[in-house]
Structure 1
Amino acid sequence: MIKKWFKNIGPGPLIAAAFIGPGTITVCTLAGVYFGFALLWAMVLSIVATIVLQEMSARVGIVSQKGLSKIIRTEIKNPIVKWFTIVLILSAIVIGNAVYEAGNISGGILGLEAILGDSYVNVGSFSFNYLSILIGVIAFALLFIGNYKVLEKALISLVIAMSLAFLITAIITKPNIAAIFSGIFKPTLPKDGILTVIALIGTTVVPYNLFLHASLVSEKWKSVTDLQYARKDTIVAVILGGIVSMCVIISAAAIQGSDINSAADLAKGLEPLFGSFAKYFLAIGLFAAGITSAITAPLAAAYVTCGCLGWSTNLKSSKFRAVWMFILFLGVVFSSLGIKPIDIIKFAQIANGILLPIIAAFLLWIMNKESVLGVYKNNIKQNILGFIILAISILLSVATLNKVFSLNLF
C-alpha cells in the first residue's frame, strides 16, 4: 500500500517546491517577526485556495492530456481576446519568471552564505558571485537531462530536505502550542496586517503553478483513472508546503521586534538564541527553497511559452530547452552581478497581479465545459469554492496595483 502510494507521488511536490521559494520564505519571516502567530490563519486560507485551484488544473491536464496554455490557444475563439490573453500570459510568466529566477538563485546563495560566508570573487574591477553559477549549473544539469522521472526524484528529495529543515528549526524555538492553534483557528487582522495577509496568499496561490501542474500531470498520468492519485498527490504536497511556510512563521515569531528583513537575517538572529544548529537547519532550508524554485520557474516558463505558441512541450525539444535556458541564464546573470531590475520587477508584479484572476476565471470557465472535461467537469460545490477564490484573487490584483502605483485604496 505504502509502496504504491510512493510510486504515485507525482507533480505535487514540484508544485510545492515552486511556491516555496525565497520570496515566500521572506514574506513568512516578516509575518512571524512583526505579527507573531496571528496570521497563521492566512496560510490555512492560502492552502485551501491552492488545493482547490491546483486540483482543477491537475484534472484538466489529465482529462485533456494538454497543458493549460495550449487549451487557452484552442478554446478561446475570438482572435483579439485570444492574442491579448496570450501576450499577457507570456509577459507575466516569461518576463516575471526571468526576474524571479534571480531571486530564487539569490535565495539559494543566502542559504549557502549563512554557512560558507561571503561568496563574491573579484577579478580586476569585475566582481561576481560564484555560488550563483554553481546553483545555475545544478539547475541546468537537471533540466538538460530532460527526463521527467529524474527531475521529479531530485525535486522531491530537495522538498523533503527543505521540509525537515524548517520543521526542525520551528521545533528548536519551542513555540507556544496554544498560541499556534489560536493563530490558526481564530482569524485576527492586526493593524497594518492587510498587505502581509495578501502577500502570504499571493506567494502561495501562484499563477504559473496552474500552468506547470496541468503540463506535469499529463507527463505523469495518461488515464482518467489516475485522477484519484493526482488528487491525493496535490492535497498532501500543498498541505506539506503550507506546513513548511507555517514553520517559517513560527520560527520567526521567536525573535519578534528584531531587525529582521529576510530569511538570512532570521538564520543569524536564531543563532544566539537557540545555538548554531538553528542557523544551519534554516540555511539548508533556504538553499533547498532557492534551488527548487530555480528549477521549476524556468520549467514553467518553457511549458507556458511552448503551449501558447504551439511548439512541442517535449522536455528534450530544442525550442523548449531554449526557453528555460534563457530564463536560467538571466537569473544567473542578475543574481551573480547583484543587478536589481526594479522596473522589470514592477512590471512582473503588475502583470502577475492582473493575471491571477484572469487565469482563475479562465480555469473556472474551462472546468465547466463538457466538451473539454465531459463528466469530470466541476460540480456545484467545486464552483462555489472556485468563485470564492476568484473573488480573493481579484482582491489580490487590486492590492498589487494599489501597492505598485501607491493608489492608497487601502
Structure 2
Amino acid sequence: MFSKLKNLSFGPATLVAAAFIGPGTVVTASLAGANFGYALLWALVFSVIATMILQEMAARLGVVTQQGLGEAIRSQLQNPFIKWFSIALVLGAVVIGNSVYQGGNLSGASLGMAGVIGEHAAWLPLVLGMLAAGLLWNGSYRLLERVLIGLVLIMSLAFVATFLIAQPDWSAFFRGMLVPSLPVGSLLTVVALIGTTVVPYNLFLHAASSAQKWQSAEQLPQARGDLLVSIPLGGLISIAIVSTAAAAFFGQAVSLEGAADLSESLRPLAGDGATWLMAIGLFAAGLSSSLTAPLASAYALSGILGYGGDLRSLPFRLTWLAIIGIGVCIASLGLKPVSVIWFAQVANGLLLPIMALFLVWACNHKMMGNYRNSLKQNLLAAVVVLVAIGLGLRSIGAALQWW
C-alpha cells in the first residue's frame, strides 16, 4: 500500500484540473446549486470518473509514445480527408474557440480581483493577460506546473472553506452525490456540468505535458498517481461550489446570473469572509484557465501541424500570444462575439467524441506496445465515448437552436 502512496503527487493532471475549473464552471456549478440544490452532485461524480478514464489514456499515450495527441493524429492518420478534417476541427474548437473563451477567463479573473481590491477597473484584463503572457513566455514547464498547482490549491482552500461556512445540509449532500436524480428542467444543467469537466482540449494538454514530464513507460505509476490526486481535487472544487450555492440560495427567491452575483449575495448570509473567499477563488479559477487555454491550444496546433511541443519555439509562442491578445480585447471591450462562440460550440460538440474515439484507437494501436488498453479499459472508454457523443449532439443542438 505504501509503495502506491508514494506515487501520489501533483503533476500534469493538475493542469487539467486548473483548465476545467474556470469562470464558466464556477457559473454553471453556482446555477446548478441555486436552481436544483444538491440533487445534481451525482453528475459531477460521474464527470470526474469519466475525466479520469479519458485523461489516463491521454497521459499514457504521452508517456509511452513521447508524443502529444496532435502529433499522434498527424503521424498515424493516413487518410488525407480524415487528417485534414481533424486538423480543421482542432483549429475550430481548440484554437479559435479558446481565443473566445479566453475573454471569459480574463473577465472572471478580473471580477475576482475586483472583489479583492474593492473596485473594477478596465485595465485589469490587460494586466492579467500580461501576467499570463509573462509566465508562458518564460518557457519553463516546471514553473507553469508550480504556478498552476498553487492556483488549484488556492481554489481548493477558498471554495471548500466557503462551502463549510455556508453550513450545508449533509444528508441532502450525500444523497445528491450517491443517488442520481433528474428534477424537472435539470437535463440541460446536467449536460453543462459534465461538459465543463470532460473537455476536448484537456486531452491535448495532458498528453503533451505528460510527454514533457516523464520520459519512459516505467514512470506510468507516477502519471497515474498524479491523476488520482489532481482530478478528484478538481471535482471536489466543483462539488463545493454547487453545494455552497445550494446551501445559500436553493428554495429562496434569489436570482443568480453569474459568479459575481454569487460572491456578493453571500455577504448577508455568510459574512464578509465568505465573500472574500469566493472572490479569491474566482480570481484563481480565471487566472488558471487564462494560462491553460492558450497552452493547450499551442500544444494542439503545434502538434497537429508538426511544429513540436517546445514551449520556447516561435510557432508555439505565436499561438498562445494570439489567443491571449484576443482574450484581452474581448474582456476589455466587453465584446460578445456570438457568431464565433456559436461556431466554437458546434466545433467542440464534434471534436469531443471524435478525439475520444481517436484516443481509444491510439491506445489500442501497436505503437503503445505492451501498454495498450485492456478489455476493462476499452469497456469503460466505450461508456465515456457514448456519453461524449450524447454531449456533442446536445451541444450542437443547443448551438443551432441559439443560432
TM over 0.5: yes
One of 244, 248, 267 as aligned partner of 2:241? 248
Question: Which residue of the partner structure matches residue 274 of structure 2?
Answer: 278
Question: Which residue of the partner structure matches residue 386 of structure 1?
Answer: 381
Alignment deviations for residues 176-229 of structure 1 (CA, whole Å, 9 cap, x no partner): 111100000111000010000000000000100000000000110001111001
- State the identity %: 47
Aligned runs of 1:35-54 on 2, under 5 Å? 35-54=36-55
Aligned runs of 1:74-93 on 2, under 5 Å? 74-93=75-94
Q: CA deviation at 1:235?
A: 1.9
Code of the aligned partner of 2:243:
I
Q: CA deviation at 1:103?
A: 0.6
Q: CA deviation at 1:119?
A: 2.5
In structure 2, C-alpha distance between the alignment counterparts of 1:150 and 1:270, rounded to whole Å: 35
Question: Which residue of the partner structure matches residue 114 of structure 1?
Answer: 115
The question of whether the paired residues in 1 share the 8 Å contact of 2:8 and 2:229 is answered with: no
Secondary structure in 1 aligned to 2:43?
Answer: helix
Code of the aligned partner of 1:24:
T
The question of whether the paired residues in 1 share the 8 Å contact of 2:60 and 2:207 is answered with: yes
In structure 1, C-alpha distance between the alignment counterparts of 2:9 and 2:181, rounded to whole Å: 38
**1:185 equivalent in alignment to 2:178:** yes
Secondary structure in 2 aligned to 1:275?
Answer: helix
Code of the aligned partner of 2:343:
F
Question: Which residue of the partner structure matches residue 223 of structure 2?
Answer: 230
Alignment deviations for residues 16-43 of structure 1 (CA, whole Å, 9 cap, x no partner): 0000000111100000000000000000
Q: CA deviation at 1:12?
A: 1.3
Unpaired segments ≥5 residues, structure 2: none
TM-score (structure 1 length as normaliser): 0.95
The question of whether the paired residues in 1 share the 8 Å contact of 2:162 and 2:274 is answered with: yes
Change (3 A) 1:8 1:179: closer
The question of whether the paired residues in 1 share the 8 Å contact of 2:102 and 2:323 is answered with: yes
In structure 1, C-alpha distance between the alignment counterparts of 2:372 and 2:390, rounded to whole Å: 26
Count of residues in Structure 1 that have an aligned counterpart in Structure 2: 397
Alignment deviations for residues 91-113 of structure 1 (CA, whole Å, 9 cap, x no partner): 11000010110010011011112
Question: Which residue of the partner structure matches residue 160 of structure 2?
Answer: 167
One of 363, 367, 379 as aligned partner of 2:363? 367
Code of the aligned partner of 1:330:
I
The question of whether the paired residues in 2 share the 8 Å contact of 1:357 and 1:394 is answered with: yes
Aligned runs of 1:3-402 on 2, under 5 Å? 5=6, 8-120=9-121, 129-253=122-246, 254-256=248-250, 257=252, 258-369=254-365, 371-402=366-397
Question: Which residue of the partner structure matches residue 126 of structure 1?
Answer: none
Q: CA deviation at 1:138?
A: 1.1
Q: CA deviation at 1:6?
A: 8.5
The question of whether the paired residues in 2 share the 8 Å contact of 1:158 and 1:292 is answered with: yes
Q: CA deviation at 1:115?
A: 3.0
Q: CA deviation at 1:8?
A: 5.0
CA-atom RMSD, angstroms?
Answer: 1.4
The question of whether the paired residues in 2 share the 8 Å contact of 1:206 and 1:356 is answered with: yes
The question of whether the paired residues in 1 share the 8 Å contact of 2:23 and 2:285 is answered with: yes
Code of the aligned partner of 2:312:
K
The question of whether the paired residues in 2 share the 8 Å contact of 1:312 and 1:319 is answered with: no
Alignment deviations for residues 257-314 of structure 1 (CA, whole Å, 9 cap, x no partner): 4111111111111110110000000000000000000000000110111111111311
Unpaired segments ≥5 residues, structure 1: 121-128
Secondary structure in 2 aligned to 1:353?
Answer: helix
In structure 2, C-alpha distance between the alignment counterparts of 1:12 and 1:361, rounded to whole Å: 21
Secondary structure in 2 aligned to 1:9?
Answer: coil
Secondary structure in 1 aligned to 2:10?
Answer: coil
Secondary structure in 2 aligned to 1:90?
Answer: helix
The question of whether the paired residues in 2 share the 8 Å contact of 1:61 and 1:218 is answered with: yes
Q: Which runs of 4+ in 1 moved over 4 A?
A: 4-8
TM-score (structure 2 length as normaliser): 0.96
In structure 2, C-alpha distance between the alignment counterparts of 1:265 and 1:344, rounded to whole Å: 26
Question: Which residue of the partner structure matches residue 399 of structure 2?
Answer: 404
The question of whether the paired residues in 2 share the 8 Å contact of 1:9 and 1:233 is answered with: yes
Alignment deviations for residues 325-370 of structure 1 (CA, whole Å, 9 cap, x no partner): 000111111101111111101111110011100001111111111x
Code of the aligned partner of 1:292:
S
In structure 1, C-alpha distance between the alignment counterparts of 2:257 and 2:334, rounded to whole Å: 18
The question of whether the paired residues in 1 share the 8 Å contact of 2:8 and 2:228 is answered with: no
